[in-house]
Amino acid sequence: MDAVTTLAVDTRLPELWPQVWEALGQTLTMVSITLVLGGALGLLLGLALHLTKRGGLYANTPAYVLLNTLVNFFRPIPFVIFIAAVQPAARLVVGIGIGTKAVVFALTLAAMFMIARIVEQNLVSVSPGVIEAARAMGASRLRVTCTVLVPEALGPLVLGFTFAFVAIVDASAIAGVIAGGGLGTFAQQYGYRQFDWVVTWTAVLLLVAIVQLAQLAGNLLARKVLRT
């Protein structure tokens, strides 16, 4: 047999399908839990950044500097290092330093800092005049935040969260470092390390499919919100 037919035939994919589905399930679980938890925390942190900035509804320079420094401290850490570095914290919070739970913990933290920045940037698009109009009607700052600031920025926020989702899918592939499972781990274990490119590409295509579907859903939702 020549090399080409060897590559084409020599794959264990047919017997690995159960593992493929399991890995897909793990990835979807990790990513969706992260999106919900990290999304909520990131939204809060992003709002805090925006509101404490100079000219914000709760303008407070020391608070802003503190939060800003915190976000800047964690954001540049590569996730492959971050996931290991927060292991002690994971043990404290979720009781275990390895496995899916620990991965979700690390992903959620990383997503929170990333989403906070995305939220902060999107909120800038809301005109200060609209905020002022609501304040002039006698709305409280909290009410203005919830009923004007966030709804007015909803379109860009949906797109921002879609962007974050894709980045989380990307980051989740590193879960294998702390025995986290998912498609990334699967592709490394059964594909890359076994020189089985069919398996590698199966995992890759599934990840691509997840990303495509998420982007499509995000775009549709944003269009609905923006009425375009």
Residues forming the site for other proteins (CB under 8 A): 127, 129-130, 132-140, 143, 147-148, 151-152, 154, 225, 227
Q: How far is the CB of 219 from other proteins (least distance, A)?
A: 18
Indicate the residue among 25 and 151 with the shorter CB distance to other proteins.
151
* Alpha-carbon span 140 to 223, nearest angstrom: 30
Q: How far is the CB of 155 from other proteins (least distance, A)?
A: 8
Q: C-alpha distances in angstroms, 2 versus 5, 7, 9, 10, 196?
A: 6, 9, 11, 12, 17
* Alpha-carbon span 152 to 174, nearest angstrom: 36
CB 26 within 8 A of CB 34: no
Indicate the residue among 139 and 211 with the shorter CB distance to other proteins.
139
Q: How far is the CB of 118 from other proteins (least distance, A)?
A: 19
Q: How far is the CB of 85 from other proteins (least distance, A)?
A: 37
* Alpha-carbon span 47 to 203, nearest angstrom: 36
Indicate the residue among 61 and 219 with the shorter CB distance to other proteins.
61
Q: C-alpha distances in angstroms, 61 versus 51, 130, 142, 149, 150?
A: 10, 23, 19, 20, 22
Indicate the residue among 15 and 54 with the shorter CB distance to other proteins.
54
Burial degree of 194 (CB within 10 A; 0-12, 13-18, 19+): middle
Indicate the residue among 124 and 213 with the shorter CB distance to other proteins.
124
Q: How far is the CB of 224 from other proteins (least distance, A)?
A: 12
